[in-house]
Structure 1
Amino acid sequence: MSGADPPPEPAPEQGPDLRLLPGALTAWTVTAATLAVPSWWRVGVAAGLVAAGASVARVGLGRRSVSGLRAALAFALAATALCLGAAGLQSLARDAGTVRSLAAAGAVVRVEGSVASDPRPLAGPTRLAGRQIVLLQLSLRAVEGRGARTAVRSRVLVFADARWAQLHRGERLRATGRLAPARPGDDVVATLSARGPPQVTGGAPAVARGTERLRAGLRRAAASLSPDPRGLLPGLVVGDTSRQPPGLVDAMRATGLTHLSAVSGTNVTIVCVLALALGRLAGLGRRSRLVAAAVVLGGFVVLARPEPSVLRAAVMGVIGLLAVAGSRRRTGVPALSTAVLVLLVVDPWLARSYGFALSVLATLGLLLLARPWTSWLSRWLPAWLAAAIAIPLAAQAVCGPVVVLLSGQVSLVAIPANALVAPLVAPATVLGLVAAVVSPASAPLAHLLAVVAGWPCSVIALVARRLAQVPGGQVDWPGGARGALTLAVGTAALVAAGPLLARHARRRPVAATGGLAVALALVLPVPGPSAWPPPGWVLVVCDVGQGDALVLSTAPGRAVLVDAGPAPDDVDRCLTRLGVRSLDAVVLTHFHADHVDGLPGALRGRRVGAVLTTIVDDPPERARAVGAWCAEAGVVVRSTRAGESVRTGTLTWQVLWPGRVIHEGSVPNNSSAVLRVQSRGLSLLLAGDIEPEAARVIAVRLGALPQPGVDVLKVAHHGSAKQDPGLLALARPRLALISVGAGNDYGHPADSTLRLLGGLGAVIARTDLLGDLAVVAGASGPALATSGPRSHTSSSSSGSSTAR
């Protein structure tokens, strides 16, 4: 061979190392599935898995391919055993003592402990019985109840009033309240309904006091900003979401920007990059820069509160940084797998956290998809634009199934929203962080920095609000596990077939475009004449037979439920068809079985802000059943009475009744909670089961309002003959809805009631004849759509009309 040898060709880049990923996912899944089982069972299974893993490791299986499979199986068994054992041992330690038995008995106790989380307003209506309700966690050190005082190490979730809102994390206190059992698998042993204010017995540790001073300084610096940046900046920088407007929260949820409304891995990545850059400018070596970044990250975690969500964000942010900038691509997935296992061992209850799932999956998307997709897009686009598209696209593709579980929707605007705001996050985070740090020394400088940081926050909020209003920006998708699995399989198939489809698209662009259109037509649900629910629905009266269950929409996937009908499956089915995943509140007008016995179905698999009841616990056995169901679900129960006004989402309601107990007629019926509701320009009167004695009092209160007439009336007591003509004439509804069972033996609705409503010019709709009744805000008033009666058809058939 003459001349110099040609230089060797560079070795092809190896793909990511996926060997630890199946084991980590297996351990995660098993931990989540077993959180509610007895602790001893988990410890025993963990011991059995250790033995099985050791046996697999000892078996000699010869060939290398089989050896790799053996190693993966042994690792999966060991990882699952580690997580199960940690969860079981932590549960045994947490349950030790008397808290669980006292909670099972519903005992009133006196507790001592320290504040373990910042107080936050109750989701949904924030004023119940005239008081603001806040939630916080306490780490108990002692509990006194049933004549005995014992030392404990348990955590409880506290429902308290506004007098608890000024507490700070780490403060020690004494308090009195009633214990109730937590839901199986919760990260607390019990719930505590506080009675009276807390008695603070000791201040927070020095570090906690110092960080609170910085957080308060940032809030003061941003106080003069407009509402959106005033609420968003503290959330983005230090995780303080207390001032975020509800409308902004909803808009960011609809556009896939919720990770920016609180501390997330994005913030952690920015802090680490800033620390490394400053270290480089200071001339530090690589190892010194890493140490400095670790110290800065530790300080940031303390500032943002070392809660599970922040620790999770810190771990995922560091791994995300390695994913985007990493020169060692193969180490990313093993690092993520190890981080998942470490976090689950430290806090096993993360296994059921949607936030944890979204963080892990988004990071996995960055590790597996962001770089190759950026490289592919760079063939046609500038590198910066390719990355701006590929990174949010990779995260959204992997997180989509979990988002569907939460909202029942797929956001088509999430990718452009994230791409548009991506350049704004870093300046807002850095400026806000500096403002917090300098606030104790110079309030004017902190204010100036907050004002400048408010500019990108304002743009982020503007993008969220505008894109949330784009028609078709959120596409309804089948909810539950089936919908999530369908989306996951479809996404995986599309990602796997992506390279082949890309080559085909370059060769035959017209055919590829047509194929994409056909695929979208097959996959995306298109509203048609039989779609349910109708777009823009305000109220749905569920066909639950002889009973009441009314659903008021407050936001996509959210609602307020008024009564729950007689059967759990019926109301659950109705809420599922409506795509309701979260109930801001449940209002039980009174305790008759046909209004409350379906409550377990409404609570099933949904987040519930609160359950509001009438002031009269009659019948007492149904009231006790409601209390037990809510205690099991970990939902607070409060009574509601005349004079209260509540706003949640697009909904405002005023409680007209009960104001007192009326002993004439049926006491439970005449104690029904009666609501006057405003939503999307419509007024509604929901009359429970009131009879003439209460109706006459309510008529006086309704007549005192500037506009006593309503667009829609839910007719009282299933249209019985016991109506007050004066109240009906005053309300003069355009649309009268009657929830009634087909062929009932009560004679509901009464002919006299139908004649009275017809004489007032109301359009009458009945669930026994038409099935579910949906009210939509039409251009000229309330429009009615129906699903078709359950007893006459197995599939819904919609019709519509407009009330005049």
Structure 2
Amino acid sequence: MRTDLRMLLLGGAAWAGALGGRWLGWWALLAVVGVVAVRWSRAAGAAALVLAATAGVAVIRAEQVAGSPVAGLATDGATVRLTGVVTSDPRRTAGRYDEVVVTRLDVRRVTGRGASYAVRAPVLVLGDTDWSDVPLGSTVETTGQLSPADDADLAAVLGARGPPTVTGDPDPWWDAAAAVRASIREAVAGRPDAQRALVPALVDGDDAGVSSALADDFRTTGLTHLLAVSGTNLTLVVGFLLLVARWCGVRGRWLYAVGAAGIVGFVLLARTEPSVLRAAVMGTVALFAMGTDGRRRGARTLGVAVLALLLVQPGLAGSPGFALSVLATGGILLLAPGWRDALARWLPRWVAEAVAIPAAAQLACTPVVAALSGQVSLVAVAANLAAAPAVGPATVLGLAGGLAGLVWDPLGRLLGTGAGWCVSWLVVVATRGAALPTAAAGWGTGAAALALLTVLVVAVVLAGPVLLRRPSTGLACCALLVLAVLVRVPTPGWPPAGWVLVACDVGQGDALVLNAGPHAAVVVDAGPDPGLVDACLDDLGIETVPLLVLTHFHADHVDGISGVLDGRAVGAVETTRLLDPPQGVAEVDAVTDPVPAPYGTVQRVGGVTLQALWPPPDSPTVGPGDGSTANEASVVLLAEVRGVRLLLTGDVEPEGQAVLARTYPRLTVDVLKVPHHGSRYQDEDWLLSLGARIAVTSVGADNDYGHPAPETLEPLAAAGMDVYRTDRDGAVAVVEDGGGLSVATH
């Protein structure tokens, strides 16, 4: 049966209109009107009208946000008093000095610059920990300074001052949803850390407890959708409710009522944020696709869903989550049936369907995933296939445990234990899959690289059914993929001959490797991800690490320590004197026995000479727990390899840099590791006085901290330094080539 693509084409026109209205403004709308005026046909006219409608909605919405009094006050940097409704759960994140709580407000009244305004404007709030316990749906009053927002869907960003004043309680349905969410967390409170974090994430998108290392493993294996609210969640929850309703004798139109109630309840439980509404709509499309004549009805419903969503929330057009949801759903509806039928010629139909669905969804999303992460997962299909049997039971048992816990706590904990057992399998799949030699292949995020990847995806889409319909070619394709995953392909020319330092590309963190001899290295910091630092050391052929130095205990410097230890002989481990933060200290102590780096002592480790210049021997060993103090206590190392002098600065702050400038006034080096990932807070005079020829910044792409700051890197480049950064250049190798210095990137 042919698939009716007309509604999908209208959905595509709506998407184009929303993007055009968002990026081009009124010009996009005028262009569409011109096209309709010049050429009118039934199909072209319908598409043009849809495009014009969504473009118009996008333009009007953008004008409303940008033209609100809140946006005007933000442009002036005004200090204001706001009254608004909390529209998202408060979320803790790392700030410069301490944790910051991020939430959203729908502002109803703003007072600033001597005037008050009644408004409806979305604002992002950055507050202190007093905001952590403010319930969703509460009406609050607060004061703070407004600043312009980067997001076109936000009128401003508010730097809140002090705690908010709650002037109105949430509506009853928000209280009920909060009670269920709390009960889900309580049902798994006695389980191991990973299970305790994953069950709420799987059921209602509450991923606050998921560690960064585990999240990275899920990302590498293509299982990230399990950590966020997705259409799969809704399909499982509502499908379970419909099944129970049928068991109870519900039939006919009453089943639609049960389904609708389930969708509304799911949205309230997972929160009415745009991402949740998008997931709910995509889940509804999946439910239609599961019914009679599902392929044709599903395609129509997907087109209608895209059109409706963009008319209500045109800002979704530029959302990666929206793109991934639509592409995954479209892949399942349009590609999976052909792949399933091809495989079913020589496999049982249920096996063919189990393979075809995740393969089609992953393939459709591949270009967008590569654009976001810079990599293509090679294990995603296998990981999703392995995880699939546990996802449904974990979701249903987790939700049932939360609901049962409201009535009888022991029953809730019993069901929560079952959910925990199920997600433990997901942890095994993610961690073991991410540890495979080539779990993911790096891919560029430039236009040319993504265009090439899109062409390859289209080629696979066209060739897939042909190759998979015969056992010989189908099994050969599978064997080739397995071989690519299990065997790490050597990179020609890497590592370059004569390398003295490699700054590994480990995302937002530090992992530096000093060449200590054949297959040996001094490693300084371990980055945030064990898999990434392990892969970097494997690429360099490092088998022994006679010295590991951890400059300080922040997660982006120590969480990858198991990757350094994996399969290598590691000698001494040296750290800073300041045992803070406690989580990082405990993680390091669990796997090794570190000692403080000896201040001022010159050490020779193989071909590496090291001297710790900071922190001084009288520095504190116990800190107040704020991030700046831990950064300030970073071990600063002066290293020399093959006559090349390198300064490795950790995250030392400007105050410490100033002391170093006074203590070592004539210090000069060849290579500078820029402190604190290129943060804007630097002692610029000191950095320039070092006279380095090469400056390397270890930093993650699209990080939340604004690293590296242009005001830090531009003066270094202006002073004649060659500036490299791992977010753009990948791994950076400094090479000594017969008295000169050069740089190779990977």
Same fold by TM (over 0.5)?
yes
Task: Flag the 1:73–1:796 CA change in 2: closer, same or farther, 3 A.
Answer: farther
Compute the displacement of 1:97 (Å).
3.7
Compute the displacement of 1:750 (Å).
9.3
Is 1:224–2:190 an aligned residue pair? yes
AA of the residue aligned to 2:29: A
C-alpha distance in structure 1 between counterparts of 2:63 and 2:96, whole Å: 36
Compute the displacement of 1:352 (Å).
1.3
Q: Which residue of 1 aligns with 2:555?
A: 647
Task: Flag the 1:173–1:490 CA change in 2: closer, same or farther, 3 A.
Answer: same
Any residues of structure 2 matched to 1:554-633 within 5 Å, and which?
A: 554-555=528-529
Is 1:458–2:452 an aligned residue pair? no
Task: Give TM-score, length-normalised by structure 2.
Answer: 0.71
Q: Deviations over 1:552-573 (max 9, x none)?
A: 95349999xxxxxxxxxxxxxx
C-alpha distance in structure 2 between counterparts of 1:771 and 1:353, whole Å: 35
CA contact (8 A) 1:114 1:140 kept: yes
CA contact (8 A) 1:409 1:474 kept: yes
Is 1:24–2:11 an aligned residue pair? yes
Q: Deviations over 1:626-659 (max 9, x none)?
A: xxxxxxxxxxxxxxxxx996433755999999xx
CA contact (8 A) 1:31 1:80 kept: yes
Which residue of the other structure, out of 93, 101, 112, is the alignment partner of 2:64? Answer: 93
AA of the residue aligned to 1:554: P
CA contact (8 A) 1:177 1:195 kept: yes
Compute the displacement of 1:91 (Å).
2.7
CA contact (8 A) 2:672 2:692 kept: no
Which residue of the other structure, out of 105, 115, 124, is the alignment partner of 1:138? Answer: 105
Task: Flag the 1:304–1:507 CA change in 2: closer, same or farther, 3 A.
Answer: closer
Q: Which residue of 2 aligns with 1:435?
A: 401
C-alpha distance in structure 1 between counterparts of 2:267 and 2:62, whole Å: 26
Q: Deviations over 1:73-112 (max 9, x none)?
A: 2222112111111122223333454211110011111111
Q: Which residue of 2 aligns with 1:714?
A: 647
C-alpha distance in structure 2 between counterparts of 1:334 and 1:49, whole Å: 24
C-alpha distance in structure 1 between counterparts of 2:165 and 2:128, whole Å: 14
Q: Which residue of 2 aligns with 1:565?
A: none
Q: Which residue of 2 aligns with 1:154?
A: 121
Is 1:785–2:733 an aligned residue pair? yes
Q: Which residue of 2 aligns with 1:761?
A: none
- Helix, strand or coil: the match of 2:616? helix
AA of the residue aligned to 2:138: E
Is 1:169–2:169 an aligned residue pair? no
Q: Which residue of 2 aligns with 1:593?
A: none
Is 1:208–2:171 an aligned residue pair? no
Please, which runs of 5 or more residues in structure 1 have no aligned partner? 1-13, 58-69, 542-549, 560-642, 658-677, 688-694, 741-745, 752-765, 776-782, 800-804
- Helix, strand or coil: the match of 1:648? helix
C-alpha distance in structure 1 between counterparts of 2:577 and 2:19, whole Å: 44
Task: Flag the 1:425–1:242 CA change in 2: closer, same or farther, 3 A.
Answer: same
Task: Flag the 1:137–1:385 CA change in 2: closer, same or farther, 3 A.
Answer: same
AA of the residue aligned to 2:50: A
Is 1:738–2:686 an aligned residue pair? no
Task: Give TM-score, length-normalised by structure 1.
Answer: 0.66
Q: After alignment, is 283-292 or 367-376 more displaced?
A: 283-292
Please, which runs of 5 or more residues in structure 2 have no aligned partner? 497-501, 514-523, 534-550, 561-573, 579-587, 601-611, 623-632, 640-645, 675-687, 694-715
AA of the residue aligned to 2:143: T
Which residue of the other structure, out of 491, 496, 503, is the alignment partner of 1:527? Answer: 491
Which residue of the other structure, out of 122, 142, 146, is the alignment partner of 1:179? Answer: 146
Q: Which residue of 1 aligns with 2:460?
A: 494
- Helix, strand or coil: the match of 1:244? coil
Q: Which residue of 2 aligns with 1:365?
A: 331
Task: Flag the 1:749–1:449 CA change in 2: closer, same or farther, 3 A.
Answer: same
Which residue of the other structure, out of 89, 107, 110, is the alignment partner of 1:118? Answer: 89
Compute the displacement of 1:408 (Å).
0.5
CA contact (8 A) 2:21 2:28 kept: no
AA of the residue aligned to 1:72: A
CA contact (8 A) 1:699 1:726 kept: no
Task: Flag the 1:16–1:787 CA change in 2: closer, same or farther, 3 A.
Answer: farther
Q: Deviations over 1:744-800 (max 9, x none)?
A: xx896499xxxxxxxxxxxxxx9999967899xxxxxxx9933799xx99x96579x
CA contact (8 A) 1:773 1:786 kept: no
AA of the residue aligned to 1:343: L
C-alpha distance in structure 2 between counterparts of 1:449 and 1:352, whole Å: 39
Q: Which residue of 2 aligns with 1:568?
A: none
Any residues of structure 2 matched to 1:639-678 within 5 Å, and which?
A: 646-648=554-556, 650=558
Compute the displacement of 1:156 (Å).
0.4
Percent identical pairs in the alignment equals 36
C-alpha distance in structure 2 between counterparts of 1:195 and 1:421, whole Å: 45
Q: Deviations over 1:654-686 (max 9, x none)?
A: 9999xxxxxxxxxxxxxxxxxxxx99999999x
- Helix, strand or coil: the match of 2:407? coil
Q: Which residue of 1 aligns with 2:616?
A: 699
C-alpha distance in structure 2 between counterparts of 1:556 and 1:324, whole Å: 40
Q: Which residue of 1 aligns with 2:565?
A: none
C-alpha distance in structure 1 between counterparts of 2:162 and 2:44, whole Å: 55
Q: Which residue of 1 aligns with 2:223?
A: 257
Any residues of structure 2 matched to 1:354-393 within 5 Å, and which?
A: 354-393=320-359
- Helix, strand or coil: the match of 2:80? strand
Q: Deviations over 1:448-483 (max 9, x none)?
A: 111111110111112111111111111111223332
Compute the displacement of 1:499 (Å).
3.9
Which residue of the other structure, out of 104, 126, 135, is the alignment partner of 2:75? Answer: 104
AA of the residue aligned to 1:714: L
CA contact (8 A) 2:102 2:124 kept: yes
Task: Flag the 1:197–1:725 CA change in 2: closer, same or farther, 3 A.
Answer: closer
Compute the displacement of 1:443 (Å).
1.4
Q: Deviations over 1:575-620 (max 9, x none)?
A: xxxxxxxxxxxxxxxxxxxxxxxxxxxxxxxxxxxxxxxxxxxxxx
Q: Which residue of 1 aligns with 2:389?
A: 423
Q: Which residue of 1 aligns with 2:42?
A: 71
- Helix, strand or coil: the match of 1:117? coil
- Helix, strand or coil: the match of 1:186? coil
Compute the displacement of 1:534 (Å).
7.8
Which residue of the other structure, out of 154, 169, 187, is the alignment partner of 1:188? Answer: 154
C-alpha distance in structure 2 between counterparts of 1:111 and 1:326, whole Å: 51
- Helix, strand or coil: the match of 2:125? strand
Task: Flag the 1:56–1:451 CA change in 2: closer, same or farther, 3 A.
Answer: same
Task: Flag the 1:697–1:770 CA change in 2: closer, same or farther, 3 A.
Answer: closer
Task: Flag the 1:368–1:721 CA change in 2: closer, same or farther, 3 A.
Answer: closer
CA contact (8 A) 2:85 2:106 kept: yes
C-alpha distance in structure 2 between counterparts of 1:209 and 1:393, whole Å: 40
Any residues of structure 2 matched to 1:333-344 within 5 Å, and which?
A: 333-344=299-310
- Helix, strand or coil: the match of 2:81? strand
C-alpha distance in structure 2 between counterparts of 1:530 and 1:697, whole Å: 33
CA contact (8 A) 1:53 1:75 kept: no
Q: Deviations over 1:410-449 (max 9, x none)?
A: 1111111100111111111111111222222211211111
Task: Flag the 1:515–1:259 CA change in 2: closer, same or farther, 3 A.
Answer: closer
AA of the residue aligned to 1:53: V
